[in-house]
Chains A and B, each alone.
Chain A
Amino acid sequence: TPVIQALWRPRREDYLRPGADTTAIMPAVSKGDGMRGLAVFISDIRNCKSKEAEIKRINKELANIRSKFKGDKALDGYSKKKYVCKLLFIFLLGHDIDFGHMEAVNLLSSNKYTEKQIGYLFISVLVNSNSELIRLINNAIKNDLASRNPTFMCLALHCIANVGSREMGEAFAADIPRILVAGDSMDSVKQSAALCLLRLYKASPDLVPMGEWTARVVHLLNDQHMGVVTAAVSLITCLCKKNPDDFKTCISLAVSRLSRIVSSASTDLQDYTYYFVPAPWLSVKLLRLLQCYPPPEDAAVKGRLVECLETVLNKAQEPPKSKKVQHSNAKNAILFETISLIIHYDSEPNLLVRACNQLGQFLQHRETNLRYLALESMCTLASSEFSHEAVKTHIDTVINALKTERDVSVRQRAADLLYAMCDRSNAKQIVSEMLRYLETADYAIREEIVLKVAILAEKYAVDYSWYVDTILNLIRIAGDYVSEEVWYRVLQIVTNRDDVQGYAAKTVFEALQAPACHENMVKVGGYILGEFGNLIAGDPRSSPPVQFSLLHSKFHLCSVATRALLLSTYIKFINLFPETKATIQGVLRAGSQLRNADVELQQRAVEYLTLSSVASTDVLATVLEEMPPFPERESSILAKLKRKKGPGAASALDDGRRDPSSNDINGGVEPTPSTVSTPSPSADLLGLRAAPPPAAPPASAGAGNLLVDVFDGPAAQPSLGPTPEEAFLRFVCKNNGVLFENQLLQIGVKSEFRQNLGRMYLFYGNKTSVQFQNFSPTVVHPGDLQTHILSAPPALRSQVDGGAQVQQVLNIECLRDFLTPPLLSVRFRYGGAPQALTLKLPVTINKFFQPTEMAAQDFFQRWKQLSLPQQEAQKIFKANHPMDAEVTKAKLLGFGSALLDNVDPNPENFVGAGIIQTKALQVGCLLRLEPNAQAQMYRLTLRTSKESVSRHLCELLAQQF
């Protein structure tokens, strides 16, 4: 793909607006070396009054160029350049160009800069990497790289970087480091070489060989030429992330370079001074490079660096050298990066506090951008123990920002900062401000604010009545945004703390009095009154019948789930308040309950009614006893917030201080699960240091499943190669291969099937050098597929050493036909972080195919026998792969059926037959696949004696072509 995608199709009105100054539109015919013909052409295009006229002009030009290129007369370099340039312009106008490539390649060997340049330009934009011209191009590049002409070398390097393809990388990646560190390379060449290498490294790191040049590249930080230094810093910052030790010497070099820049006068660096700020972007890059490492160990280096950081902070206080906004922007860019580094080190209390004060000034700056950035930076400062108190002093400004900022993104940063600076001392104030803000908050961020309030309220609750009030307020103000996690959690806490139960019952009872209350309030109210309604029953204003009729007055307005919950409340009432029994039985007995169309409601009504009439008081009391306390665990709300924000942002929400080593460099693999859909005992799966693992016994799958933490979506660790779903589909027609692979783990499969039996070998390979602990692969079979794990001694050993592979054997018996494959759930700990993934095991119904040979006559007879509409499944679909008869044949055989020749009158078509063997029954299958090469389509028809099997097979097979 061309690196530059120029997709513009200009509209005439863009430059022919009524009243536009047309003299300005007329292109000035350029001076000097300019190509007059090109200028005229562009001017013609601009003057076209309609799209048609433009196309006509372009076609005329294309015909002209074509004839020139085809003509007998050899074109000189200038003409070639001109025509190639026109082609390029036409391409950028949005037209396809299908010739001229050869002429462009010819230009590469010109000795004139402008000709060569246009040649390279055309190639960078228009030639894709699999073109057959690539050999010629590479040759020209090779010549230019060896030419010792710096301008030509640069053009070649730029072309490599612009194309940046793997092929280019393979051809040149080894040469570029040599050019980069060669003593006689010109500055501009070194600069280009560094950036070219960076580009290739980013595209395919494996192609860039590390070697003795790495040591020399670090010394480019000392280079005289600032452009070389800047390019080198970019390259080193990228390379050192992989091999920090190899580049460790860059720390002291970067510090001394930074120190020289920071202390230089505002005009010392001449071209590299931007509005009186010396080399702002280079400074930022150096500061960023330093953030790849912990603070320097060498005291002298460290001293010098601290001096630099102080200088930057001091300069921020000095009067500006220019009133221009460019000056202050550049200065502030350095300042923010400096503060980032200070926060990264998190070891200099003095600097941290100064940084905080500096940001505090920005909080009231008139530039929105600065306020935004100050709030954002302060958020990370709040998590440092040294600056937490200093951040807290700005609470009023931040609250004011939350109230008055006009920009929602700034308000959101303010809310983040309030969350980060919250502790026991200011929790009540912050929570009440956030609640107030919630009433007018933008819809987009309400849910997040709700989560934050819920967490703060829980974390810093001194008395739980405040907590209950806060959550009920949340539901009242923003009921729609209160997710299940939030109201589950309040129930959990009320259940676990008996000192708040009476208060909670009283409060929800009062809240329910409101004429319109949110359904979530009904849920919480229903649950709490069902459990603890007895605690307020003494008050005649909230006597049992009053409680019941209050709840029941909401019943009809609620969704099925809430009504189901209320029915449970009612049966609990029967136990709590025997006097309500008759009324409630009446409600349950009503036709609207007993014959409710919703099966869940009907079942509850029937069962509860029977329970209340059949069971003795003792039995009722036991069955409907108060819920036992929930096991203590990390708040699932916190887990949800982390999920929402993604692991990157979580540090700001984190309780503990940032861990520099795990954040930026070498964080290793993000310890996140890929797909887990079962309740997890420790919600801290994101590997954050938020809370130590809960000491309480892990909740078993059954207990506490009210709070199911479903980890999915953004946190998923990318799997290498095909997605699990693709990998699974590949196994439909084959039995062996790699089922799953990510950076940690590879799972290979070998399997064989006979009749209704199968045996599958699973190979788990640890790709890291670290031992996996608690390694446990288990097979879950949701349907009728019985899976025995007969012998898995190696996998039972719960450790898998780094680089080792363990094997697990599954014996499989197919009892009946089935649709969903069994699932393989693998859990283990890697470097202390739990990992979990769930994959579909490649066991599909077609694995139990037994191929059946039959003559054409038999086939047609059986085909006719299976002529009921539900026995047939048909799909017409587009080919996703090239339509190759041999490949198709192999796939059909792999699928399991026999292929019958000479059955279909059309030899292009495929016909197959087989029997699916299960323990309970056999299913005969006939299939026919009709490829249509012209339309690139297939029609697949399956006939079997069982409807579900026909459909399922048809679907499985259709995905294979």
Chain B
Amino acid sequence: MIKFFLMVNKQGQTRLSKYYEHVDVNKRTLLETEVIKSCLSRSNEQCSFIEFKDFKLIYRQYAALFIVVGVNDTENEMAIYEFIHNFVEVLDEYFSRVSELDVSFFNTVFHSTQAHSSTYEIGSCSVTQAGVQRCNHGSLHPGSVGLKL
């Protein structure tokens, strides 16, 4: 089960956070700081899974942006790991060129038009497709920035 989904940059700024379990708003900032700290401290040689308190973090890094998913014990790490990539591919396709700066705004759009509960719940490919379809409906396209993911 996914507990939360974070996008944090190397400076430790949260670009997007979405929680699927109740976490006090004032505890979130602290949690996010700790999460990014543990991700940043890792090298490329290390695996993408971190045991963190009583749950697990699965993360991937795209340029300066970390995508971190917090899951419980029974979750399939590899499925989530690849799901992150799929998510990024979908974003890329949906918005043609995505940058970290756009992420928060677009994701808000994305999340609310798409699989609110968890994109993972939807299963990825349907997201891809639905995303593209929705795109054709003509939603927000205020601008996009280089910095290919």
Residue ranges of A at the interface with B (Cβ–Cβ < 8 Å)? 1, 3-11, 14-15, 21, 24-35, 38-39, 42-43, 85, 88-89, 92, 113-114, 117, 120-121, 124-125, 151, 155, 157-159, 161-162, 188, 191-192, 195-196, 198-199, 202-203, 226-227, 230-231, 234, 271-274, 279-282, 284-285, 288, 326, 329-330, 332-333, 336-337, 340, 368-369, 371-373, 406-410, 646, 648-649, 664, 714
Contact = CB atoms under 8 A, between A and B. Distances in A.
A227 B129 CA distance: 10
21 contacts: A7-B17, A8-B13, A11-B13, A26-B143, A27-B144, A113-B137, A117-B113, A195-B117, A199-B117, A226-B126, A230-B122, A231-B121, A231-B123, A280-B79, A329-B82, A336-B76, A369-B81, A372-B49, A406-B46, A407-B46, A410-B46
Given A4-B16, A24-B146, A369 B47 contact: yes
A230 B25 CA distance: 30
B11 to A, nearest CB: 7
Contact of A330 (B13, B46, B82): B82
Interface string B4-43: 0000010101111111111001001100000000000000
B138 A114 contact: yes
Given A8-B14, A202-B20, A333-B79, A125 B123 contact: no
A409 B49 contact: yes
B142 A34 contact: yes
Interface string B105-123: 1001101111111101111
A641 to B, nearest CB: 16
Contacts of B111: 4, 162
B122 to A, nearest CB: 6
A222 B128 CA distance: 22
Nearest to A285: B123
Contacts of B78: 329, 332-333, 336, 369, 373
B121 A195 contact: yes
Closest 7 CB pairs of A and B: A27-B143, A24-B146, A30-B141, A230-B123, A227-B126, A333-B79, A333-B78
A11 to B, nearest CB: 7
B128 A271 contact: yes
Contacts of A92: 104-105, 108
Given A1-B25, A202-B20, A117 B139 contact: yes
A376 to B, nearest CB: 8
A956 B117 CA distance: 45
A10 B105 contact: no
Interface of B: 9, 11, 13-22, 25, 28-29, 45-51, 54, 73-74, 76-79, 81-83, 85-86, 99-101, 104-105, 108-109, 111-118, 120-126, 128-130, 137-147
Given A7-B29, A230-B126, A409-B49, 15 more contacts: A4-B17, A4-B108, A5-B19, A6-B108, A14-B9, A27-B143, A32-B138, A39-B142, A88-B105, A114-B139, A198-B121, A369-B77, A369-B81, A373-B77, A409-B50
B116 A162 contact: yes
Nearest to A277: B82
A24 B116 contact: no
Given A27-B144, A231-B121, A648 B73 contact: yes
B145 A27 contact: yes
B141 A89 contact: no
A85 B17 contact: no
Given A8-B13, A25-B146, A368-B46, A231 B122 contact: yes
A372 B47 contact: yes
A3, A124, A188, A649 pick with most chain B CB within 10 angstroms:
A3
B127 to A, nearest CB: 9
B76 A284 contact: yes
A274 B125 contact: yes
Given A25-B146, A35-B142, A337-B76, A5 B28 contact: yes
A379 B100 CA distance: 39
A38 B142 contact: yes
B90 to A, nearest CB: 11
A125 B104 CA distance: 12
A10 B79 CA distance: 32
Nearest to B45: A406
B76 A288 contact: yes
Contacts of A373: 49, 77-78
Nearest to A160: B116
A371 B146 CA distance: 36
Contact of B74 (A3, A646, A664): A664
Contacts of A188: 130
A30 B146 contact: no
Given A114-B138, A231-B121, A281 B83 contact: yes
B38 to A, nearest CB: 11
A530 to B, nearest CB: 42
A700 to B, nearest CB: 35
A8 B128 CA distance: 26
Contacts of B114: 158
Contacts of B141: 30-32, 34
A151 B46 CA distance: 44
Nearest to A195: B117
A158 B110 CA distance: 11
B15, B28, B145 pick with most chain A CB within 10 angstroms:
B145
Contacts of B54: 646, 648, 714
Contacts of A151: 137
Contacts of B118: 195
B113 to A, nearest CB: 6
A429 B28 CA distance: 46
B17, B29, B76, B113 pick with most chain A CB within 10 angstroms:
B76
A510 B132 CA distance: 75
B116 A29 contact: no
Contacts of A196: 116-117
Contacts of A6: 15-17, 104-105, 108
B137 A114 contact: yes
B64 to A, nearest CB: 8
Contacts of A8: 13-16, 104
A891 B124 CA distance: 57
Contacts of B17: 4-7
A227 B122 contact: yes
A611 B125 CA distance: 83
Given A25-B146, A279-B125, A280-B79, A409 B51 contact: yes
A6, A10, A157 pick with most chain B CB within 10 angstroms:
A6
Given A30-B142, A117-B113, A274 B100 contact: no
Given A21-B146, A88-B108, A407 B45 contact: yes
B54 to A, nearest CB: 6
A274 B86 contact: yes
A92 B141 CA distance: 16
Contacts of B105: 6, 88-89, 92
A4, A33, A89, A288 pick with most chain B CB within 10 angstroms:
A4
Given A162-B111, A284-B79, A25 B145 contact: yes
A688 to B, nearest CB: 16
A544 B68 CA distance: 63
A5 B85 contact: no
B1 to A, nearest CB: 8
A191 B145 contact: no
Contacts of A198: 117, 121
Contacts of B128: 271
A72 to B, nearest CB: 29
A913 B44 CA distance: 69
Contacts of B121: 195, 198, 230-231, 234
A27 B101 CA distance: 12
B125 to A, nearest CB: 5
A664 B125 CA distance: 29
A92 to B, nearest CB: 5
A5 B115 CA distance: 17
A7 B146 contact: no
Contact of A125 (B112, B122, B138, B145): B112
Contact of B125 (A89, A271, A333, A648): A271
